[in-house]
Amino acid sequence: MRKAIFPGSFDPVTVGHVDIVTRAIPLFDEIVVAVGINRSKKSFLPMETRLEMLERTFEDYPNVRVASYEGVTVDFAQAQGIGFMLRGLRNAQDLDYENYVAQINKFLAAEMETVFLIGSPDVSHISSSMVREIVACKRSVEGLVPDAALQLMPPLD
Ligand code: ADP
């Protein structure tokens, strides 16, 4: 079975993440969207909210599973029998950073292959940090966060 992990903070999930996952569905038997627990990094949304947003977003996709993990991503992936790491690329900065991460992962787990998809032009500018900034300006993030997850965003006032 061809399984991929799509790891990230998803703080919050955006339509950019959905673009990558849905376009990868034909490539894999199962995609595990996995939220990394980083105790040293203060998050915008609690872990439970981020997971629930992802559950709602992907509830109609039987081959997409949502999980959380602590520690090294490739260790979690290998323990789950996952052989591919899915990542999205928005721009040259993403490529620089993702190249670095992929090299480290190759060192840690030689069998793990990282697969990159370039973000679709209509959503490739969208990031979780952009969503957080718009929320800080007390503006709606409709169209940036998937509709199924919008209700779980903090109220604007
Ligand atoms: P991280 O916390 O590791 O940056 P994110 O939750 O921001 O993780 O994103 C997870 C993955 O989704 C990364 O590979 C990131 O490049 C990709 N991604 C996020 N937004 C987009 C987008 N708009 N288009 C393409 N890829 C994206």
- Tens of pLDDT, residue by residue over 63-100, are 999 999 999 999 999 999 999 999 999 999 999 999 99
pLDDT tens-digit readout, 36-45:
998 888 999 9
pLDDT at 94: 94
Q: Which of 75, 71, 70, 33 is nearest to 52 (CA)?
A: 33
**Contact of 50 with 11, CB cutoff 8 Å:** yes
Which burial class, exposed, middle or buried, applies to 30 when counting CB atoms under 10 A from its CB (0-12, 13-18, 19+)?
middle
Q: Is 113 helix (H, G, I), strand (E, B) or coil?
A: strand
Q: Which of 94, 95, 123 to mutate to test the pocket of ligand 1 (most atoms within 8 A of CB)?
A: 94
Q: Tell me the backbone φ, ψ of residue 63, rounded to 5 degrees.
A: -90, 5
Share of the chain above pLDDT 90, in %: 96
Is residue 88 within 6 Å of ligand 1 at its C-beta?
Answer: yes
Q: Which of 90, 91, 130 to mutate to test the pocket of ligand 1 (most atoms within 8 A of CB)?
A: 90
Question: Which range (94-98, 138-142, 153-157) has the least confidence?
Answer: 153-157
